[in-house]
Amino acid sequence: MDHNARVPRLPLEITDLLIDELLNNVRALGACSLVCRDWLPRSRHHLFKVVHLWGWRVYDFLELINAAGGRCTFSDHIERIEVDEMKSRRQRSPTRKSRSPSRNLSVVDIISLLNCTTPTCNLKIHTLSIHNVDWTGMSLQKRTKLRHDLASSPLLGEHIKAIEFHNSTFHDTRELGRIIEVFPNVNGLAAEVKFTKCDVSSSKLNLPSIKTLDVGTEDAIPVLLESLNCTEGSMDRLSVRNIELEHLKHLRTLMKKRGRDLKSVHFAFKDGLQKAGEAEVSLSMSSCQDDVFGALDFSRLSQLRTLSIKGLKLTSDTSLFSIEKHLPHILGTIESSCLDTVNLGFNLTGPFHECSFDWSSLERVLLALHFFGMQRACVSVDLSNHPAGEVGEEVAKSVQDRMPDLFARGVLVIDVGDFNSVAEVVRAQEAVEDDLDMEPESVSLLLGAKPLQS
């Protein structure tokens, strides 16, 4: 045995877990990457897994990935690139130093530069995320050039497996379809988009290869769900946010046609769902239940592993139509032997002790699912719309007391808090990251292959 060999004070598995806890803290990850050689790979993984390619960073990024004859030390960790039209237009302080010739590049300019670059290092980018782009403000020539640059870029093109559009506006679905088609290997789509003109019956897209869909806007939900209903193929993951009553018929058809292979399902209901049911005078209670039970029938999802239902309301209101009333019945339709986790998200709008929700029925169905293999039931309660009075610890204890058997078995996980405040903290951290302009010497230390030794 070599007694001079240095042995880590902690197993690498432990230090990796500790570094994982800092995944959103750019400064802390930068410090960790300089501690020792063993800490460097994991720190770099979180630092560069997602590259926010804002306008003022593009030239620096291209210079780094083409530096030192293909010996870029972080390129292997890049999996996702994000571009943002609003971030690109942001005016930075003139006192900040930068090697970039311009700080005001649009998304079109950024994609064009990526198309003109042939990297000398190995890149594994598989996700492109586009934010805040108004396609209606572009000329036909500019839209055509953008699609050409996306398709022919050596950094993107055939390497992209997932494409995301956030807060983007199109004339109609045809432009969205043309952009998706330039990526021959894409199988994941996230669409938070608006259309200036859209007819669901005549605006279907050809999406045979899409296995993962994340959609959450009023315009996109019916179009994309109907497009999937009209194409053949299997799906692994479905996420639909801001669900309203009129979306249930599209979900119902999709669950029947594509549900067999779904492994992860995330549904988030909009507050208007309950209001729409109350306002529709001609709609009977049985009709409402048929729509809800049909859209949320999980009996066909034989491969389901993770189910998330958010946007549920904890209230004293006993209205005629309510998703929460039928939640135990809905969860009781699950027959998957692969189920691992059920996530339920509630919004508390009044005093907890006045809520009319049936916790005992929910516990019974969750215990039954646990008996057949479910490992975790996660219940989150959002207090952002809750009047002052109860604190998070009190609400968490109340949930625990109403499902004692589930908690005693170690299955129940409770998360209570003001999630709007949490989102503000995340945005503040992103702002810190945007303002983190380092001198070239600091960048070299962070990216270089010579960290401090143990």
Residue 200's pLDDT is 62
Look at residues 426, 321, 312 and name the one whose alpha carbon lies nearest to residue 378: 312
pLDDT digits (tens, 9 = 90+) for 71-127: 677 888 889 999 998 875 444 444 445 555 555 788 888 888 888 877 666 777 899
- How many angstroms from the chain centroid is the CA of residue 425? 17
pLDDT at residue 371 greater than cutoff 80: yes
Higher pLDDT pick, 315 / 238 = 238
CB count in 10 Å sphere of residue 8: 12
Name the token pair of 207: 């999406």
What is the rounded distance in angstroms from the CA atom of residue 87 to the CA atom of residue 313?
35
Name the token pair of 250: 């599209």
What is the rounded distance in angstroms from the CA atom of residue 29 to the CA atom of residue 6?
23
Q: Looking at the DSSP assignment, which residues form a beta bridge with residue 170?
A: 195
Domain residue ranges of the chain, discontinuous segments joined by +: 9-48, 259-436
User: Which residue pairs, CB below 8 angstroms and at least 24 apart, start in 428-433?
Assistant: 429/24, 429/25, 429/26, 432/26, 432/27, 433/26, 433/52
Residue 420's pLDDT is 62
pLDDT digits (tens, 9 = 90+) for 285-314: 556 666 777 788 899 999 999 999 999 988
pTM to 2 decimals? 0.81
pLDDT at residue 357 greater than cutoff 70: yes
What is the DSSP track for 316-332?
S---S--TGGGHHHHHT
**Contact present, 111 and 130 (Cβ < 8 Å):** no
